Amino acid sequence: MLNLNQNTSILIVDDDPNAFDVIEAHLYREGYDLFYASSGEEALNLLDSIEPDVILLDVMMPKLNGIEVCRTIKSDSHWKHVPVIIVTALNSKEDLARSLNAGADDFITKPVSGIELRARVRSMLRIKQQYDALEATLRMREDLSNMIVHDLRNPLTNILLCSDLLLQSTGNDKDLQRLQIISDSSRELNSMIDNLLMLAKMESGKMVLNQTDVDLNQLVADVIFQFQAIAEHKKIRLIGKLDETPASLCLDINLFHRVLENLISNAIKFSPPESLVIVAVNSPNESVSSNFPNAQAKLQIIDSGPGVSEERKHHIFDKYEVGDLMSGVSQIGLGLTFCKMVIEAHQGRIFVTDNQPQGSIFTVVL
């Protein structure tokens, strides 16, 4: 059973001190910790120190009114789950609609009824505590998953090491073929584990970018060289079209190297034999510059695979989202999520368009 009183903080925001006195008189027996802010600006400044469980917010305040304060709170990912009850003398349907559109969770009119106020606060506290309990459960499950994924690395490293040693010492063609499958599969698993761990770090805000000046042309050329043997094995031509003017960008080279690996690996994975995969680096053209005024470079990975449907283009970068399933092709839906998070951490953008007559173009603007 939820305890709605213990260590419960309520922030009352109103430019009229008498309004606080009225609400305090209605709530003092409930055992809540009551805090008062006389303006919208003061309320926003107090959020971090108070960490309220419910906010009672007046609408008619000078400078920053309650609707604006509510919209600011609900636009902040850290505070948007805190219930906001609008308290106002206005009672028209238009005022109610404005409050709800700003993100308010409930609405009460002045003069405030004690019975109604206490009931509405309790209702919002139940919602807040249920949300907190769910968040704690999800966080515990996420932490447990990350621990398991981290622990998978040790046995997988041993498999990789042993398979590589056996590949060097075994002469039987059939055994070599089987060992190569084990080695390739282990590397793919290792890549998935790395993606999961990096995503967890980025989502928790613990990933720190180590940015240095990087020659984008050289970085792309290095990754293309790394994938040439794989492309040739699949009978795919992998070529680079690099800008004549080298683009020097401030990047985390390790993370961005991995972004390129994911994008090029995907292009090869989904392209049919005897097709072409192009990795192009260009200066931003007029169209790119108009949409992204601060763009310094445009990177495109162009393939001739099955393409991405219009419906999936809006979700292809979401975690665990995959395109149309293809036989024999591993699709977990983490690689593109990782790419998007790293690119956006560098203040860049990534999107996908169609390659004519067939295939996809993944464009990265930095």
183 and 69 in a common domain: no
Is 289 domain-assigned? yes
Q: How far apart are CA 69 and CA 46, in angstroms?
A: 12
Final residue of a structural domain among 89, 112, 135: 112
Question: Residue 149: pLDDT band by 50, 70, 90 thresholds?
Answer: low
Final residue of a structural domain among 87, 112, 137: 112
Least confident among 126-130, 289-293, 314-318, 358-362: 289-293
175 and 275 in a common domain: no
Report whether pLDDT(27) > 70.
yes
Report whether pLDDT(89) > 50.
yes
pLDDT top residue among 187 and 128? 128
Q: How many domains does the chain have?
A: 3
Report whether pLDDT(11) > 90.
yes
The alpha helices in 10-92, defined as continuous H runs, are 17-27, 40-50, 66-74
Is 123 domain-assigned? no
Average pLDDT over residues 52-77: 91
Is 3 domain-assigned? no
pLDDT of residue 82: 93
361 and 229 in a common domain: yes
pLDDT of residue 120: 92
pLDDT tens-digit map of 166-214: 777 766 777 777 777 777 777 777 777 776 777 676 666 666 778 999 9
Report whether pLDDT(147) > 70.
no
Q: How many CB atoms lie within 10 A of CB 321?
A: 15
pLDDT of residue 332: 44
156 and 15 in a common domain: no
Report whether pLDDT(86) > 80.
yes
pLDDT of residue 107: 86
Is 191 domain-assigned? yes
pLDDT of residue 202: 67
Q: From residue 315, how far is each of 140, 304, 308, 356 by CA, in Å?
A: 26, 21, 10, 21
Question: Residue 236: pLDDT band by 50, 70, 90 thresholds?
Answer: very high
Q: What percent of the chain has pLDDT over 90?
A: 38
353 and 258 in a common domain: yes
309 and 287 in a common domain: yes
pLDDT top residue among 18 and 338? 18
> For the domain that residue 352 is a member of, what is the CATH number?
3.30.565.10
Domain that residue 353 falls in: 212-365
pLDDT of residue 146: 63
Question: Residue 39: pLDDT band by 50, 70, 90 thresholds?
Answer: very high
Strand, coil or helix: 3: coil
359 and 216 in a common domain: yes
Report whether pLDDT(144) > 70.
no
DSSP state of 239: E
pLDDT of residue 161: 80
Q: How many CB atoms lie within 10 A of CB 312?
A: 15
Report whether pLDDT(319) > 80.
no
295 and 183 in a common domain: no
DSSP 72-114: HHHTSTTTTTS-EEEEES--SHHHHHHHHHTT-SEEEESSPPH
Is 91 domain-assigned? yes
Is 124 domain-assigned? no
41 and 176 in a common domain: no
pLDDT top residue among 204 and 71? 71
Is 28 domain-assigned? yes
107 and 35 in a common domain: yes
Final residue of a structural domain among 93, 112, 131: 112
309 and 331 in a common domain: yes
Report whether pLDDT(325) > 60.
no
> For the domain that residue 75 is a member of, what is the CATH number?
3.40.50.2300
Q: How far apart are CA 355 and CA 308, in angstroms?
A: 10
Q: How many CB atoms lie within 10 A of CB 191?
A: 18
In single-letter form, the type of residue at position 334 comes to: L
pLDDT of residue 171: 67
Average pLDDT over residues 259-284: 90
Is 128 domain-assigned? no
Question: Residue 145: pLDDT band by 50, 70, 90 thresholds?
Answer: low
Q: Which of 85-99, 227-241, 280-294, 313-327 has the highest mean pLDDT?
A: 227-241
339 and 250 in a common domain: yes
